Amino acid sequence: MKLLGLIGGTSWHSTVVYYRMINEEVGKHIGSHANPPLLLYSLNVELMRAQDWERINAAYLEIALKLQNAGAKGILICANTPHIVYDYVQPKLDIPILHIADAIGQQALSLGLKTLGLLGTKPTMTRGFLSEHLAEHFGIATLIPGERDIPKVHHYIAAELTQGQFTAEARDFYKEQMEILKSKGAEGIILGCTELPLLLDQDDFDLPLLATTQLHVAMAVEFILANEKE
């Protein structure tokens, strides 16, 4: 099995979900008596909340190099928003970062979806690191909530979901946003925050919901179990 390095901490709730799911899914292939080798570096979520992108880039590069030097053969960032560092960090590494947008794009194409609504933090929705990657590599268009709604979409994630609070009020709000995105032409919805699938599931909506965590974990499991000689 390949040694995978995990960068977590944004939030630790998200990291726990990633760690558990990777172990569970690999266990389905190798048996529950065993588990994959993993390296985990969990940073302080306050770094991301400060929105100082120069510091964020530098921190993720430092951590990624530590994991690489410790023997990791690939890196998985255990959240959506920190993928904003990908274009800065990946060229400076000798090992791959498994990009969450590749996991999304592959699933969307398998379902025949070409236009997706995106819910997530404000940077995830507006900075383009997911939408541009999906457009460039998969030909997928991305729709986001209206300008007046973006702060509230972000608020529930930052103030509640990442704190482990999952309320009916938040669920109703996101369902309303999904209806709006559907009316604009979305054929599926990206749940672009690790905590969103903890609040919403497929029974809550009549379009395909692409839960990024599950898709990203599946990519990680495939990487861990791949024959390194191939």
Could you tell me what percent of the chain has a pLDDT over 90? 60
Instruction: Provide the pLDDT for residue 207.
Output: 92
Mean pLDDT, the chain, as a whole number? Answer: 89
Domain that holds residue 22: 4-98+215-225
Residues 123 and 202 placed together within one structural domain of the fold: yes
Residue 89 sits in a domain whose CATH number is 3.40.50.1860
Residues 191 and 135 placed together within one structural domain of the fold: yes
Residue 131: cis peptide before it, omega within 30 degrees of 0 = no
Residues 117 and 167 placed together within one structural domain of the fold: yes
Mean pLDDT of 38-45: 86
Mean pLDDT of 59-79: 95
Instruction: Provide the pLDDT for residue 229.
Output: 38
Mean pLDDT of 128-137: 92
Residue 141 C-beta-side C-alpha neighbours within 13 Å: 8
Residues 194 and 220 placed together within one structural domain of the fold: no
> 108 and 76 in contact (C-beta within 8 Å)?
no
Q: At residue 88, does pLDDT exceed 90?
A: yes
- The maximal CA–CA distance of the chain, rounded, in angstroms, is 51
**Residue 28, domain member (yes or no):** yes
Q: At residue 85, does pLDDT exceed 60?
A: yes
Mean pLDDT of 55-63: 91
Q: At residue 62, does pLDDT exceed 50?
A: yes
**Residue 191, domain member (yes or no):** yes
**Residue 230, domain member (yes or no):** no
Could you tell me what percent of the chain has a pLDDT over 70? 97
At 16-36, the pLDDT tens digits run: 889 999 999 998 888 878 788
Separation of alpha carbons 163 and 203, rounded Å: 24
| Secondary structure (DSSP) of 203-220 | GG-SS-EEEHHHHHHHHH
Separation of alpha carbons 187 and 38, rounded Å: 36
Number of domains making up the chain? 2
**Residue 177, domain member (yes or no):** yes
Mean pLDDT of 195-222: 89
Residues 105 and 207 placed together within one structural domain of the fold: yes
Task: Report angle CA 97, 99, 101 to the nearest 5 degrees.
Answer: 175
Q: At residue 200, does pLDDT exceed 70?
A: yes
Residues 66 and 141 placed together within one structural domain of the fold: no
Mean pLDDT of 121-128: 88
